[in-house]
Amino acid sequence: MAAAHDTDRALRILDALEAAHPDARIYLDYESPLQLLVATMLAAQCTDARVNEVTPRLFARYATASALAEADTAELEELIRPTGFFRQKARSVQACCRALVEEHGGGVPDDMDALTRLQGVGRKTASIVLAQAFGHDAIAVDTHVKRVSDRLGLARGSDPDKIERELAAAIPRTRWSRATLLLGTHGRRICTARKPDHAGCPVKGLCDFYQAMRTR
């Protein structure tokens, strides 16, 4: 359990980020839990913008888990080629969709254990699906959330599971999903990997990284 001052600080950060980024959202386009699941799998080592260019044609051709599971692998690979690592991703998507058909009637389960048993689905992907497709409380640690959390001092280290636990301890459960979107959006817009916009940062007064930069 986080100390009270840790939670208070986390809430101050989230409130400031909410004011700065009221339009914070997920950047993958989707219309169903299946589409979000597959899109998130394709987004590994790829930008969301590139995935959004690929998925309209992909889902127009293969609209169900069954269709994806039974797809011609070479054709599927060609459709998702722009996302990179397309052969590995095609294998994972098809294995995942076969399991959805065989074990879940073609639907996407809405619990962490069932999702993470699917090939190619880790906690980050599962958390995104649970939070955004099903409205569950979940924290998804992507590269932006990891970077911003570390700089702000909300969570330390590079292990996503450890970061998730530390964020979950400091942030009230009802704000987990929104925190993911706020931290991620802040990382995309302001707290970028290179040359973060300190002048435009709404939380620099609460930021360990910024304070350390000022004292150098």
Which sequence positions are flagged as catalytic?
A: 124, 142
Question: Concatenated DSSP letters for 86-102?
Answer: HHHHHHHHHHHHHHHHH
Q: Residue 127 contacts by C-beta under 8 Å, 6 or more apart in sequence? A: 112, 138, 139, 140, 141, 164, 180
Task: Report the phi/psi class of residue 71: left, alpha or beta, with left for phi > 0 and alpha for psi in -120 to 50.
Answer: beta
CB 43 within 8 A of CB 83: yes
Q: Report the distance separating Cα 133 and Cα 94, nearest Å.
A: 20
Helix, strand or coil, per DSSP, at residue 36: helix
Structure tokens at 123: 């906690």
How far is it, in rounded angstroms, from Cα 64 to Cα 94?
A: 11
Contacts of 83 (CB under 8 A, 6+ apart): 42, 43, 46, 50, 51, 54, 89
Q: Which residue has the tokens 């973060």?
A: 196
Length of the chain: 216
Using DSSP's 3-state secondary structure scheme, residue 26 falls into coil
